[in-house]
């Protein structure tokens, strides 16, 4: 039971870290995809997917490494290292981006 | 009972050697007050013990477990940094869930100070409220040892006493290492006091020791 609660807490911590830049990245990618669609009339989802992957990486760097680097201490205190936070976030961003690209 | 064992800590920045062969031990039930002048390496030492700062050399152990970095200290050591560190977009209630076990979470949720802010996000809190929340979360985390860097800074005097009482209550099952520039708060609650001086540690037994090592001038009287 305790192990299950700890796993939930790790997932909750990863989600808290990721969601801060996920919604802005999604908005940017949809706007970018729309713009490309308006210009060329092609590749809406593909361009949105690529824009999502790139914007989420850039936002993650800007939000956590430049503006809110102190927030890492919260995640360290719940046992999440920077490598784990970045690794999990990049993986999720790639999966979401790839889903867009394959639509 | 576990023991936090910190030995052979060395750290330099450029040509300046800040910490030279530091030794500190802390048992559960102890509150160690760590004093030192500005730039003496108090924060550096706490970060090294926590694992967020690389040392030139160190040996840190909790019980039989050797702590080489952040990954090893999970649920063993918590750290309160000087600056605000809670994610600004998070709700207070979700932060409590993430940092505390069920027992501590319900204790915090029933606290008069926390009740008022439970449904707010961190961005909606004042600097003081945020600091008190950070302190309470760290004190009530699951860790066996708690490192606190200037916990009383930015906290109103009436809440300082509340926090001191909380630390003393929690010290029955945890060990604390606390540093603060207001040494009176430290001396009020510490069971042992250590002074960082010239990169090393000096055990402090009374106010004469603090004057002897130049931390206090002879004109200052300790309560």
d(CA B189, CA A73): 25
Q: Measure Cα distances from B172 to B31, B79, B102, B149 in Å.
A: 10, 18, 19, 20
Predicted local confidence at residue A7, as pLDDT: 86
- Closest Cα to residue A93, out of A37, A18, A27? A18
Q: Does A20 touch chain B (CB under 8 A)?
A: yes
Mean predicted confidence (pLDDT) in A24-40: 87
Predicted local confidence at residue B176, as pLDDT: 96
Query: Does position A34 have pLDDT exceeding 80, yes or no?
Result: yes
Mean predicted confidence (pLDDT) in B47-65: 93
pLDDT digits (tens, 9 = 90+) for A75-86: 999 989 999 999
Q: Indicate the average pLDDT of chain B.
A: 90
Predicted local confidence at residue B182, as pLDDT: 85
Model confidence, pTM: 0.90
CB spacing of B52 vs A76 below 8 angstroms: yes
Q: Please report the ipTM that was assigned to this predicted complex.
A: 0.90
In DSSP terms, which residues pair with B147 in a beta bridge?
A: B79, B177
Measured between beta carbons, which residues in chain B are less than 8 angstroms from residue A17? 87
| Closest CB from B71, B79, B83 relative to A81 | B71
d(CA B213, CA B203): 11
CB spacing of A76 vs B75 below 8 angstroms: no
Backbone angles phi and psi of B124, in degrees to 5: -90, -5
Predicted local confidence at residue B215, as pLDDT: 85
């Amino acid at each position: 039971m305790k192990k299950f609660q700890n796993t939930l807490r790790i997932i909750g911590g990863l989600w808290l870290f990721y969601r801060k830049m996920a919604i802005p990245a999604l908005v940017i990618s949809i706007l970018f995809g729309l713009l490309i669609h308006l210009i060329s009339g092609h590749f809406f989802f593909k361009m949105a997917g690529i824009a999502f992957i790139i914007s989420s990486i850039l936002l993650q760097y800007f939000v956590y490494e430049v503006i809110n680097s102190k927030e890492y201490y919260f995640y360290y205190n719940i046992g999440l290292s920077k490598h784990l936070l970045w690794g999990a976030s990049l993986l999720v961003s790639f999966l979401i981006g790839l889903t867009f690209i394959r639509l | 009972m576990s023991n936090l064992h910190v030995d052979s800590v060395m750290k330099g920045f450029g040509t300046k050697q800040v910490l030279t062969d530091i030794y500190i031990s802390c048992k559960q039930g102890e509150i160690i007050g760590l004093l030192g002048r500005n730039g003496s390496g108090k924060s550096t030492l706490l970060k090294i013990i926590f694992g967020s700062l690389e040392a030139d050399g160190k040996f840190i152990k909790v019980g039989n477990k050797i702590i080489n970095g952040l990954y090893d200290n999970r649920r063993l050591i918590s750290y309160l940094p000087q600056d605000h560190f809670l994610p600004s977009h998070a709700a207070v209630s979700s932060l409590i869930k993430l940092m505390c076990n069920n027992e501590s979470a319900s204790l915090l949720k029933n606290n008069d100070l926390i009740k008022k802010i439970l449904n707010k996000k961190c961005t909606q809190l004042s600097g003081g409220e945020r600091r008190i929340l950070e302190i309470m979360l760290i004190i009530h985390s699951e860790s066996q040892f708690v490192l606190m860097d200037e916990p009383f800074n930015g906290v109103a005097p009436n809440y300082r006493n509340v926090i001191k009482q909380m630390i003393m209550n929690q010290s029955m099952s945890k060990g604390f290492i606390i540093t603060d520039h207001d040494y009176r708060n430290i001396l009020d609650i510490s069971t042992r006091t250590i002074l960082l001086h010239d990169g090393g540690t000096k055990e402090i037994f009374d106010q004469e020791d603090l004057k002897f090592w130049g931390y206090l001038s002879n004109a200052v009287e300790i309560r």
